[in-house]
């Protein structure tokens, strides 16, 4: 059986179930306890688990991320919530230099089972310092796993898998889609880290995306269907490890690919996917891989800037027609 619930509720269920299952799991971050979370993801958790396992922190990302890493090295399983990954820049020393390297620096003697989670990407008119996508930043670091999805069922199953993982996992959510609803199964289930999902079967072009860019991607696929172009849509769900097999198998079938990625175009997730396709499916391509990214500028505040900056269905349709040589 499944019921329709919001993304924030799916994430909460994942944390609650794992905290009930394992008393080593705890949540810490700014306003996660008494305020029920900045986005109400942790609503009611303080009442059930108490202040020793749902911990309000000062506004000091470097400090509480470091406490989390130390706790993980000593056998606990912290979930560290950042109010936004933009603020996590302050904690990069702990995430990249400590959490990601603990296993290799200790020659396998210590693992670091920690989850860093919070919203990434644009959240509307929040301007330059609060609108950045961090998937490629984190995925560039060996030792870190990166999850980025908005489907509530996937988000719950992947977060549960992340909490149980012996290595550090970065979970990227979407501030705009915490209220986004989807069907979530009842009862215990996990979603495997590192497996993409084919959201729509198609024959003419492969569309690859993740996180909230899945919405305009699916919208574009419907528009294209009305124009006689069959698009296969792949939701990455996990950025590292990347499910190369699903992408390559799709491109071998459709012979064309457009990658939709909210991050900046230079050295981003879309660049890595384009490389993997030309390396493993070059002989199958009937057109160059095209990327649809956010504009290569810092995002301004005005609503018109936001609209122009982000990928949308119209830009995706235009890119598909380019790879399909349709005017």
Active-site residue (options: 13, 18, 30, 61): 61
Looking at the chain, the number of H-run helices and the number of E-run strands are 13, 14
- 144 Cβ partners below 8 Å, 6+ apart? 95, 96, 99, 100, 138, 167, 168, 169, 170, 240
Distance CA 327, CA 325 (A): 7
Q: Quick one: tokens of 53? A: 């396992």
Active-site residue (options: 13, 30, 81, 130): 130
Active site residue 61: yes
Distance CA 52, CA 112 (A): 20
Q: Quick one: tokens of 32? A: 């996660």
Active site residue 130: yes
What distance separates the 2 farthest-apart alpha carbons in the chain?
A: 62
Distance CA 10, CA 86 (A): 23
Q: Which of 219, 197, 215, 210 is nearest to 320 (CA)?
A: 219
- 221 Cβ partners below 8 Å, 6+ apart? 200, 202, 207, 231, 233
Rg for the chain (alpha carbons), in Å?
Answer: 20
Cβ distance 245 to 208 under 8 Å? no
CB atoms within 10 A of CB 202: 20
Instruction: Just list the catalytic residues.
Output: 61, 130
């Amino acid at each position: 059986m499944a019921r329709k619930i919001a993304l924030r509720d799916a994430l909460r269920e994942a944390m609650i179930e794992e905290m009930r299952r394992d008393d080593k799991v705890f949540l810490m971050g700014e306003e996660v306890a008494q305020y029920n979370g900045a986005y109400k993801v942790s609503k009611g958790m303080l009442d059930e688990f108490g202040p020793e396992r749902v911990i309000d922190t000062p506004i000091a990302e470097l400090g509480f991320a470091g406490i989390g890493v130390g706790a993980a090295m000593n056998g606990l399983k912290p979930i560290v919530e950042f109010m936004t990954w933009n603020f996590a820049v302050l904690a990069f020393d702990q995430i990249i230099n400590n959490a990601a390297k603990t296993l290799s620096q200790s020659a396998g003697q210590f693992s670091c089972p920690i989850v860093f989670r919070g919203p990434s990407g644009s959240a509307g008119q929040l301007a330059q310092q609060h609108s950045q996508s961090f998937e490629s930043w984190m995925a560039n670091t060996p030792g870190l796993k990166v999850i980025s999805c908005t489907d509530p069922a996937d988000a719950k199953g992947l977060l549960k898998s992340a909490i149980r993982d012996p290595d550090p996992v970065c979970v990227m959510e979407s501030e705009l889609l915490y209220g986004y609803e989807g069907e979530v199964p009842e009862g215990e289930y996990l979603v495997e880290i590192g497996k993409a999902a084919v959201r729509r079967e198609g024959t003419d072009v492969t569309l690859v995306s993740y996180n909230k860019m899945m919405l305009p991607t699916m919208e574009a696929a419907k528009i294209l269907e009305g124009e006689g172009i069959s698009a296969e849509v792949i939701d990455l769900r996990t950025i590292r490890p990347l499910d190369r097999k699903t992408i390559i198998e799709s491109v071998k079938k459709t012979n064309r690919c457009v990658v939709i990625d909210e991050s900046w175009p230079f050295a981003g997730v879309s660049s890595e996917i384009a490389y993997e396709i030309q390396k493993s499916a070059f002989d199958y391509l009937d057109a160059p891989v095209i990327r649809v990214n956010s504009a290569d500028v810092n995002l301004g505040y005005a609503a018109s800037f936001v609209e122009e900056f982000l990928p949308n269905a119209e830009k995706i349709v235009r890119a598909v027609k380019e790879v399909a040589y349709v005017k």
